[in-house]
Amino acid sequence: MESTSINKSKLFLASCIALTVTAMTFGIRAGIMGELGTEFAFTNRELGIMAQMAFLGFPLSMIVGGLIYPKIGPKPLMWAAFICHLLGLILTIVSTSFLPFLVSTFLIGVANGAVEAACNPLIADMYSTNRTTMLNKFHVWFPGGIVIGALVSQMMTSMGMGWQAQIAVMFIPTIIYGYLILGQSFPKAENIASDIGENISSMVSPLFIFMLICMGLTATTELGTGQFIQPLLENAGAPPLIILALVTGLMAVGRYFAGPVIHRFNPIGVLFISAIVATIALGVLSVANGPLVYLGAFLFSCGVMYFWPTMIGFVSEYCDKTGALGMSIIGGAGMLITGFSLPVIGDWLDKEKAIATANGLSEEAISLAAGQNTLDNIAVLPGILIVFFGILFFMRNKLEERRIPQDAH
């Protein structure tokens, strides 16, 4: 029997665990990329296309979810996420060739997008006067889940357990969040704009379109780098999955304590500073070898930790008339553009390896050079964001006039 009262804390917990599953799919997939490439003879480009499926399913689900959210609310979307997570995980485990991996990864992407499409507006609605802070606390569990996934993958690999077992681990949190939403009453869209016509017309604005472009760059900087962490840092003198766990662990801590940072610098200042730090970090990683990799990883974490939730919070606060659809579109755009960038990053790696091989380098030197040169290419993206967010920063006084009121907690 469904409860008639709304348990905000339980819904928030279920949302966080659902996002943890989403993140674990990224962390564990990053950890098994090398094993899949070896077992099935996939190239880096093919692995990039495979990973791309998750990034294509994600925005499709988010866009559809954003369109129907005002009519159906978050509950059906959460159940759709649960079912697609189960189906995607099962199909991944039984896959033995390229096409089934594409389908299973796409299903997981659909599930991940449904989680975001349901939970972002749900949290913005439940905590309407403290949106960016609570969205940052929710998004703690994206890096948190990647930490869990990366460490689980590293541990299971060291124990000689294959990629199928590592995928199967994700059934545990999936079942937990399904149990938590069972019988719960969900709120209707009360504190966010829910008129689809108004939402769409509000998105046809220079600011929203500008933020769509920025979202593609922020998401690719963070997620594109993370998906290829294994080949990028394979011979840089530090275990790639430990680096991934370090980066995402710091991100989780930073997001949990985001409130004072957001209120001190406001979302625009946070985005501007983040772009500067991320550019410096990728520059360090592109020349790092040995202990210097840890410094680059620390800086990279500081640079990207606030990107995703603050971009969504920005749209919720400065483009609030776009409603749930606006939050879904901005998140979907980030995943879609990242998805298209993954084969490009894979191509960069393959080409850099070919160049290094032609120069007669050793196998370890080839891997190191390819990873460093590719990181140097990726560093261009946050470099562009310095300019873009700099424009917003100098316009911040005018933009504050359109921001919805926020409390100080």
DSSP assignment letter at 190: -
User: What average pLDDT does the chain have?
Assistant: 86
341: in domain? yes
Query: The domain that contains 365 carries what CATH number?
Result: 1.20.1250.20
Amino acid at 155: M
Buried b vs exposed e over 117-156: b needs ≥16 C-beta within 10 Å? Answer: bbbbbbbbbbbbebbbbbbbbbbbbbbbbbbbbbbbbbeb
354: in domain? yes
Does the pLDDT of residue 36 top 60, yes or no? yes
Q: How far apart are alpha carbons 122 and 271 in whole angstroms?
A: 24
DSSP assignment letter at 320: G
125: in domain? yes
320: in domain? yes
3-state helix, strand, coil in the chain (%, to 5): 80, 0, 20
Helix, strand, or coil (residue 202): helix
Of 241, 282, 283, 253, nearest to 26 (Cα)?
A: 241
Read off the pLDDT band of 404 (50, 70, 90): low
Does the pLDDT of residue 148 top 50, yes or no? yes
26: in domain? yes
Q: What pLDDT, in 10s, does the model give residues 263-301? A: 888 899 999 999 999 999 999 999 988 889 999 999 999
Q: Give the residue numbers spanning the domain of 180.
A: 8-188+195-400
218: in domain? yes
Read off the pLDDT band of 157 (50, 70, 90): confident
405: in domain? no
Of 334, 276, 5, 293, nearest to 139 (Cα)?
A: 334
Count of domains forming the chain = 1
The 10 Å Cβ neighbour count of residue 294 is 15
Read off the pLDDT band of 37 (50, 70, 90): confident
Question: Which residues are CB-contacts of 306 (< 8 A; sequence separation ≥ 6)?
Answer: 136, 254, 255, 258, 261, 262, 270, 271, 274
Largest CA distance in the chain: 70
340: in domain? yes
Query: Residue 376: is it exposed, middle or buried by C-beta count within 10 angstroms (0-12/13-18/19+)?
Result: middle
Q: How far apart are alpha carbons 265 and 242 in whole angstroms?
A: 31
Q: What are phi and psi of 297, to 5 degrees?
A: -65, -40
* CA distance readout (Å), 403 to 201, 379, 389: 18, 31, 17
Q: What pLDDT, in 10s, does the model give residues 235-253? A: 888 887 788 778 888 988 8
Q: How far apart are alpha carbons 408 and 362 in whole angstroms?
A: 56
